[in-house]
Amino acid sequence: MSFLSKLKRKGNSPAEPRGKRRDSEPRTVASVCYARHLTDPDASDYEITKAWSQVEKEMVIVAEGSVGLASLSPDDLDQLDSRENSQLVHVDAFYVDRFAVTNDQFQVFVDDGGYENFDLWPESVLPMVLNFVDTTGCPGPAFWANGRTPQGRGHHPVVGVSWYEAYAFARWCGKRLVNCAEWQHAATWADSGSGRHRYPWGDSFNANFANTWEAKREDTVPVDQYADGATANGIHQMVGNVWEWTDTLFEAQMSKGLRIVTDGPMAEIRGGAYDTYFTSQATCRFRSAQAIAARHPNLGFRLCLTASDLCQPNDSYAFCDQGE
């Protein structure tokens, strides 16, 4: 069950080259929202085929499989990075973004009136949307000014956005947030000798592979840095730089007649950030959470698509026939 529905009730592809990625042209609605065509039954073959070309460039296929999630029992909350007492969860095949959503991409959402389009937001939080403003009172992430991306940070991950803002952006562009099982499944990779790894690159922490406290940067970096720390199939920064929102409600399970009570709903976050001190928290398995309205400087998100939901073109040569 998705996170939002709960609130209402209360194989891998070959790796891309590891060089840095920069967008050669300014982002547009069409370039950010290509995924809309893949679930639109009225989309033309040309639109679908062109969208698939963007998927191949910006996303990675993750084959179906099972992943062991650390227990959220209060008795085990000190072992949220442990393989012990884990729950095996099946994950269907999906496509996931190679990079976290950037400021440049989120700027298109802001400019397109995303904060004024109430159809994108859960009805119960519409009054709260008015408070999702930047340092100058304009709609946008908490640390922007005048509704604009901070200078020189277009290719950094967008931060200062709540779970609701990430959810609205996902609906706008035709994707969805990754749930915690999908996130962990994408971040880890199977090895016939040792099973799933602790980090995207293996079982030992390497400070040169991730932007955590040990890197001493004390800030985010562009989403294509630390390429050596990417997964084997080219998913970047699953550990370090920013924590990432997931579409999973964080609920500690009852144990011995006790349960953890919070002031409001919390969503699970994954991956650690530039200010994560303990390497045991900057892993593929560690589970943490934030209040869903939180807008922190070390918290961003990435998106995905369910593979079985996507349209295929009837004419596979439609894109070539009409040109780019």
Q: Would you call 28 exposed, middle or buried from its count of C-beta atoms within 10 A (0-12, 13-18, 19+)?
A: exposed
Scanning 174-272, the segments in alpha helix (DSSP H) are 180-187
Residue 18: per-residue pLDDT: 42
Residue 79: per-residue pLDDT: 47
pTM for the model stands at: 0.86
Residue 119: per-residue pLDDT: 97
Positions of the chain with pLDDT under 50? 1, 3-21, 23-24, 75-81, 191-194, 319, 321-324
Closest residue by Cα to residue 314 from 49, 98, 80: 49
CA-to-CA separations, 100 to 225, 248, 282, 290, in angstroms, rounded: 12, 18, 16, 18
pLDDT digits (tens, 9 = 90+) for 15-44: 444 444 454 467 899 999 999 999 999 999
Pair 296, 159: CB distance under 8 Å: yes
Q: Give the length of the chain.
A: 324
Strand 303-306 relative to strand 94-97: parallel, antiparallel, unpaired? antiparallel
Burial pattern 280-294, b for ≥16 Cβ within 10 A else e, equals bbbbbbbbebbbbbb
Residue 264: per-residue pLDDT: 80
State the Cα–Cα distance between residues 63 and 136, nearest whole angstrom. 44
Which runs of E-coded beta strand occur in 203-292?
243-249, 266-270, 288-291
Take residue 66 and report the two structure tokens written for it: 């099972």
Q: Would you call 107 exposed, middle or buried from its count of C-beta atoms within 10 A (0-12, 13-18, 19+)?
A: buried
State the Cα–Cα distance between residues 128 and 270, nearest whole angstrom. 25
Residue 8: per-residue pLDDT: 43
Domains along the sequence of the chain with CATH: 3-322 (3.90.1580.10)
